Amino acid sequence: MYKYEKVIGLEVHVELSTKSKIFCGCSTEFGGRPNSKCCPICMGMPGTLPVLNRRVLEYAIATGLATGCTIREYSRFDRKNYFYPDLPKSYQTSQLYLPICYEGSLEIEVDGIKKKIGIHEIHMEEDAGKLIHDQDDEFSFIDYNRSGVPLIEIVTKPDMNSKEEVIAFLEKLQLILEYLGVSDCKMQEGSFRADINLSVRKKGQKELGTRTEMKNINSFKAIGRAIDYEAKRQIDLLEKGESIEQETRRWDDANGISLSLRSKINAKDYRYFPDPDLPPLVVDKDWVDEIRKRQPELREEKIQRYMKEFKLPEYDAKILTSSKYLADIFEKTVAISKNPKEVSNWIMIETMRLMRDRQVQVENITFSPENLARLIELVEAGKINRTIAKEIFELIFDEDIDPEVYVKEHQLGVVDDRDLLIKVVQEVIRDFPDSVTDYKSGKDKAFKHLMGQIMKRMKGKANPVLVNELLRSELEEL
């Protein structure tokens, strides 16, 4: 391996989360009865005419702006001609000659080393339908619900050299799309799919080697495995003096191998030509500026703001912003509770622990920020202790209960009874005269010891804020 280096470029297909399809009004919702979300336009009937969904263009521009691309003022759709049963028109409406965004980049970081990955272009296109082979021995079925779902394709330059860089790039891109709200990026539902173009070359060699392309790998883990396997396969061939075939390969994750699908088809084989049914797109500069102004705060900006505005450590800021959903919960809770570090702890520790335990994805979290804020307030005011608070939080996480009501109903509140607490404080002072002497001579540890004894006698259920106050004043009077 030491003699060779991997060279990797990505083509990432992202399904946009618009309500309707790219050229008709049909719903883009995932799943549902086959062929229940289609019409003559997305089924490619002759004589129909497409009309571009403005939101698709807006989302493509927003993605371009967030990835440092130039937005093309005058762009166009082209027909990519090929026959396949999931493509009833026999061409895919895409962009080849004048894609909407070009020449951008994203900076990634792997093992503390920063690197800029070039983005060649971002173009808009339509998704195809879906063939279903496993329902019958003799027949295949076709579902056109996905036909015409809007896609953007992000094409990188061959700037990555390891699986770690590839995954860092994809994670960063995914997060940008999530923050922009342009896609839900669910790999398992196919709304974020990456094709891996990979070649190898001897270290120090300038020219690129012959590449292969692996399509539609559906998890980051599988991507890592596919890259390792394919690089080794190519190196083994070169070491044997053989050459690499430029081809499209399928990654078989269950068996951990890649298989040849077909030899690579070049752009010229598709007989691309400008689509005569769609007028060229002229993008107004003012509109681009408007979209730029409306761009939401992205992760890097959030990290900086959390550190500055909420005085959070960088560590917290990075974890909280590792998902837009987590950042949303954090911001909404802080707005009520005004205690950023406490909120951050509850999210980073307990929330993330329960997500793991209960196998809940962050976008499916259901508890309301109000209830988490109330819980924090109860702890801060000394009304419940932390052990009980953690137990209650599980109920908030699972069922979004109101902690105040719950504490009252189950009498979980700590003892606030002054007279009772004074009695216990005085008992402990009497029973531990040495600690009292130590305290008087300025030893802070002794105070903690006395506090601990009182809490022990109260079985952890005394209001610590009140005990603290009573103990201090009792000791002062001695």
Nearest to 180 by CA among 261, 263, 67, 34: 67
Residue type, 309: E
Instruction: Give whichever of 198 and 471 is closer to ligand ADP, judged by the CB atom.
Output: 198
129 binds, among Zn ion, ligand ADP, none (CB under 5 to 8 A by kind): none
Q: Pick the closer one to ligand ADP by CB: 37 or 201.
A: 201
Name the binder of 267 from ligand ADP, Zn ion, none, CB < 5-8 A by kind: ligand ADP
Q: Which is nearer to ligand ADP, 80 or 299 (CB)?
A: 80
DSSP label at residue 279: P
Nearer to Zn ion, 39 or 336 (CB): 39
Q: Can you name the residues that pair with 30 across neighbouring β-strands?
A: none
Does 158 engage in binding with ligand ADP (CB under 6 A)?
A: yes
Helices marked H in 189-298: 220-239, 285-294
Q: Are 291 and 66 in contact (CB under 8 A)?
A: no
Amino acid at residue number 171: E
Token readout for 238 is 């070169």
Q: How far apart are CA 80 and CA 313, in angstroms?
A: 50
Strand partners, 116: 107
The residue within the footprint of Zn ion, chosen from 16, 24, 100, 471 (CB under 5 A), is 24
The distance of closest approach from Cβ of residue 43 to Zn ion in the complex, given in angstroms and rounded to an integer, is: 7
Q: Closest approach of Cβ 18 to Zn ion, in Å? A: 13
Of the candidate residues 17, 145, 147, 156, the single one contacting ligand ADP (CB under 6 A): 156
**Which of positions 28-57 make contact with Zn ion (CB under 5 A)?**
39, 41-42
Q: Which does 39 bind (CB under 5 to 8 A by kind): Zn ion, ligand ADP, none?
A: Zn ion
Q: What angle do CA 264, 117, 218 make, to 5 degrees?
A: 55
Q: Are 92 and 128 in contact (CB under 8 A)?
A: yes
- Residue 464 has a CB neighbour count (10 Å cut-off) of 17
Q: Give dist(CA 388, CA 366) in Å, integer.
A: 21
Q: Is 155 in the site for ligand ADP (CB under 6 A)?
A: yes
382 lies in the site for ligand ADP, by CB under 6 A: no
| Interface with ligand ADP (CB under 6 A), residue from 76, 157, 250, 461 | 157
Query: Is the Cβ of residue 8 or residue 167 nearer to ligand ADP in the bound state?
Result: 8
Q: Closest distance between Zn ion and the C-beta of residue 37, in Å?
A: 7
Site string for ligand ADP, 178-207 (x = CB under 6 A): -------------------xxx--------
Q: Give the one residue of 80, 89, 146, 211 binding ligand ADP; rule: CB under 6 A.
A: 211
Closest approach of Zn ion to the CB of residue 26, in Å: 3
Among residues 96, 88, 95, 120, the alpha carbon closest in space to that of 9 is found at: 120
Q: Take residue 136 and report the two structure tokens written for it.
A: 């019958």
Can residue 10 be called a binding residue for ligand ADP (CB under 6 A)? Answer: yes
Q: Which is nearer to ligand ADP, 155 or 407 (CB)?
A: 155
Burial class (CB in 10 A: 0-12, 13-18, 19+), 139: exposed
148, 38 Cβ separation under 8 angstroms:
yes
What tokens appear for 435 in the block? 């600690």
Q: Name the residues that contact ligand ADP, by CB under 6 A.
A: 7-11, 155-158, 197-199, 208-209, 211, 266-267
Q: Name the residues that contact Zn ion, by CB under 5 A.
A: 24, 26, 39, 41-42
